Amino acid sequence: MGAFLALGLFQGAVYGLLAVGIVLVYKAKRVFNFAQGEFGGVAAFTAFAIVVGAGLPYWVGVVGGLAAAVAMGLIVERVIVRPLESSSRTIMLVALVGVALFTIAIIVLLGQPIPRVMPPLIAGGGVNILGAGILPQQLILMAVLAVLAAAMAWFFKTDMGLAVLASSQDTRAAQVVGISPVAVSRLVWGMAALLGGIAGLLYAPVGIFTPGFMTLTMLVPAFAAAVLGGMTSLPGAFIGGLAIGVVQNLGIYYLGQQLKVPGAAELGVFALLMLVLLIRPQGLLGKEA
């Protein structure tokens, strides 16, 4: 069971990272970013091309992957989001689904639609902590998360961070004090892309990965995590991600392995989402509308 819990926390943290990116964009722009997963996809495939394809050091792959993700975020912001700023949210949503599919198609075209194996940053077996085998990759994740949490907490105390919060609360008022909406929009999409890229780099080495792996397997649980957290709370989104990862894997353990219920992971998540939305419709850390 410990192994399932550890796996759940790990997967959940990746969902959480994506969910924080989703909420960041949603808070600022009231846009559901269906391209969030592909920021991770682009980061993972770029890093793979650098590390495995070109044989360069791992850190070059990490930097290159994250740079590619942020570049994609800024391009999406400029080419898709800003021109559609005043159109309906449905059009925006469909456009972003289009971005995800287009990106997957490009990745397939550039490489091949075959599964790839990304080596982990630190190879080797697991460390035994409280009876569960913890992989080095999972320890790296913990360290990355601690740094990210501290960085985010710091950022939202700076003038820039306050400007992002202010713009999401009242765009007009932010303009009135001289904050440029374009600068905030770029910053938000860049940050969301960075978070997505980190999620992709952390998750890719866990198993084999194929084009679209982030969108197809990670995006829906990440959206569930964002909703669970209240859609407007960054810590809420992350906690929501952890909860979903854990419930998925405990579902597999209890319902799947012991009671042989099919679709146990999805069932667990569904039950959790229904339960939370029934008891707290505003989400775990969301404010009542």
Partner 1 sequence: MALLEVENLRAGYGSVPVLHGVSLSVDEGANAVLLGLNGAGKSTTLMTLAGLLPATSGEIRYDGKPLTGSPGARVRAGIVLVPEGRHVFPALTVKQNLRLGAWTIRRDARRAHRNLLEVYQIFPRLQERADQTAGTLSGGEQQMLAIGRGMMSSPRLLLIDEASLGLSPKLTEQVFAAVQLINERGVTVLMVEQNAGVLAQADTAFVMQQGRVTITGSGSETLADDVVRAAYLGV
Q: Are 284 and 233 in contact (CB under 8 A)?
A: yes
Tell me how crowded residue 271 is: count the other CB atoms within 10 A of its CB: 13
176 or 259: whose CB is closer to partner 1? Answer: 176
Q: Summarize as ranges the residues that interact with partner 1 (CB under 8 A).
A: 159, 162-163, 165-166, 169-170, 172-180, 287
Q: Report, in Å, the least distance between residue 288 CB and partner 1.
A: 13
114 or 176: whose CB is closer to partner 1? Answer: 176
CA distance linking residue 289 with residue 275, whole number of Å: 19
120 or 161: whose CB is closer to partner 1? Answer: 161
Residues present in the chain in total:
289
Structure tokens, 83: 């021109």
Structure tokens, 190: 């860049």
Q: Report, in Å, the least distance between residue 123 CB and partner 1.
A: 46
Q: Report, in Å, the least distance between residue 231 CB and partner 1.
A: 15
176 or 278: whose CB is closer to partner 1? Answer: 176
Q: Report, in Å, the least distance between residue 256 CB and partner 1.
A: 42
Structure tokens, 89: 């949210």
The single-letter code of the amino acid at 14 is: V
Tell me how crowded residue 266 is: count the other CB atoms within 10 A of its CB: 13
